[in-house]
Structure 1
């Protein structure tokens, strides 16, 4: 295509939208006009992964993007998706650079300009380990400080976590109050409640949440959340927390416990408070729920009685459970029959062997791919 093409920029933008980023970067070098059109597409999706080490203690990719946005403020409206992830080399023993917090502060200066941002993922690695006197603000909160993102629909926030580091403060509450369109929220490094105003003042449209049980119990009431994914220990999922989770404005239909080593007692408690579940994904605690046989692993009969307490369960995923033996199709088929007797609504089961079984219209179980 000639660079002096009479095609209007809108048509060029439509054509460029079908190109992958590597090809689009090449197109941007063809001419000033192509560069001007392609830039908006290139900057609509920003994915940065920085690995911090003793030699490179600062997130160079993040800083490059920061300076690029300072020089191109007209592109702020085009950014729709921003993913920034900082990790540390496993062999690195040096403490994090105190300048990481300065980078977090700089990030907020750019993020607050991204008024069209729809998807935000920030994982700031060791930044929250930096300790400064008389500072009381989480690294993530620095990055989103004074940010008002009216179009944001997906948000995932977090940093490396250990007990005793700087917790989240009222600044995260302020941020959430200024994201009225947020549908999906993940908070990976907070293990207590959040003092967020009730809907519709904050998160009126929240549909899914991933985080600790205590945080979920404080966020879910009064909001239309139908999917939750919990992290932490199974002891964190107390009956009090479960009871507070029931106060959503729509029934919770999906629960993911793959990040928790779950005992049958937890499932029984869950069934008492969340009987509306249709999809359940769990990582079973092997020492409590499995025994080993030469042919593979067999779930204890007790699990059937637990499943019987879920009257609406359609999909059961046990694949996050670490397998202790070889997969055996015959054993799994027997278990499918046993589980469906206890829970007649079941239609799909995925075992720790990663094998998926479905029930046909004649109530027979078949392994996918067999």
Structure 2
């Protein structure tokens, strides 16, 4: 629809040129597929449209025997290298590689694209959001080699980066992270949100680095070394609930501001862990969890009433306002109805007076009104 309009603008008899700033404002509201057509109208439109198209790049390559090369990533990187003027326009770069489970990683050819991606990243200094999930790339590196992610980010500097997510699949013998990652993270002065999904050991970063970090997602052991002294309000843990223990949990308390949001939706959580968390992190206001239902609540109860045993646990959180149980699996276990859910809301709010919002495994949301009555959320 808009490509003909763009052509008419070019062929307009008016002698008043349309400023590039106005074109950019118009093009920013156009879908990417249409913007690609507009870029073909004329050279001037191409220059404006390309900067918008390359400002936000999200690529996913699914690798297999028939497609062992991440061609989408490779093609994009080669295009960027051919257009040096576009590099300063790139604000978001998200790359995800995944392997077709039927294809052994030995059949893949990832090294050339990794090298090209590294060349691009060194030049995109205005990045604000970076995601690198390099999938099976770490499988192809011999033990003692450099981790696949470190090969790509080594030597990069992103002074404007706000969000960063890094990782790759791993197996026994895969290279682990080294000082290269620590040096890279320490060089990000503006970083606010960090995800390290495959880092499971100590992370030694200078105390004055990452001074603006507000959220982290990763393992409990990495969190224990990253959180102290930093203004992290939001923590999302990955792994097993047994990974959160009395060795690392106390270190979560040393953030420079209170930890308010805790997401445990990727692990099966037993009530005993929640009690330990309440002991060390009484400032938690928002709790998102996936309960391990086979472990101890009330076996004498059935259906959704199985969750009644949470009352004593929730009572240990003096500041909890929101409880999200939606990640909890309900297959064949939790069948609920209106009366049961509202009954639990009342029971839990008596034990935890600060509670104002509950989301059940059924994904039904309940909110405590100003009149003290629980009602379904909008």
Partner of 1:93: 104
Tell me the distance in 2 between the aligned counterparts of 1:299 and 1:346.
19
Contact 1:290 1:298 in 2 (8 A): no
How big is the shift at 1:361?
1.3
Partner of 1:176: 185
Correspondence 1:158-307 to 2 at 5 A: 158-199=167-208, 202-290=209-297, 296-307=303-314
* Deviations 1:248-304, CA, capped at 9 Å, x for gaps: 100000000001100011000100111001100000001014567997322344321
Partner of 2:353: 344
Contact 1:158 1:189 in 2 (8 A): yes
Tell me the SS of whatever aligns to 2:154: coil
Contact 1:314 1:346 in 2 (8 A): yes
Tell me the distance in 1 between the aligned counterparts of 2:279 and 2:218.
21
Partner of 1:365: 374
Tell me the SS of whatever aligns to 1:287: coil
Alignment equivalent of 2:155, drawn from 146, 156, 159: 146
Tell me the SS of whatever aligns to 1:339: helix
**RMSD, aligned CA:** 1.7
- More deviation, 84-93/53-62: 84-93
Segments of structure 1 that go 5 or more residues without pairing to the other structure are: none
- More deviation, 88-97/172-181: 88-97
- More deviation, 298-307/323-332: 298-307
Tell me the SS of whatever aligns to 2:123: coil
**1:76 matches 2:92:** no
Tell me the distance in 2 between the aligned counterparts of 1:321 and 1:191.
25
Contact 2:142 2:174 in 1 (8 A): no
How big is the shift at 1:353?
1.2
Tell me the distance in 1 between the aligned counterparts of 2:38 and 2:145.
46
**1:32 matches 2:39:** no
Q: Following TM superposition, where does structure 1 have runs of at least 4 consecutive aligned residues deviating by more than 3 angstroms?
A: 289-295, 299-302
Segments of structure 2 that go 5 or more residues without pairing to the other structure are: 1-7
Partner of 1:121: 131
Partner of 1:331: 340
- Tell me the TM-score normalised to structure 2 length: 0.93
Contact 1:289 1:300 in 2 (8 A): no
Contact 2:99 2:105 in 1 (8 A): no
Inter-CA distance 187–265: structure 2 relative to 1 (3 Å threshold): same
Tell me the distance in 2 between the aligned counterparts of 1:304 and 1:325.
17
Tell me the SS of whatever aligns to 1:35: helix
Count of equivalent residues? 365
Alignment equivalent of 2:53, drawn from 42, 52, 55: 42
Partner of 2:113: 103
- More deviation, 317-326/342-351: 317-326
Contact 1:101 1:139 in 2 (8 A): no
Partner of 2:73: 62
How big is the shift at 1:156?
0.7
Partner of 1:7: 18
- More deviation, 254-263/13-22: 13-22
How big is the shift at 1:94?
4.9
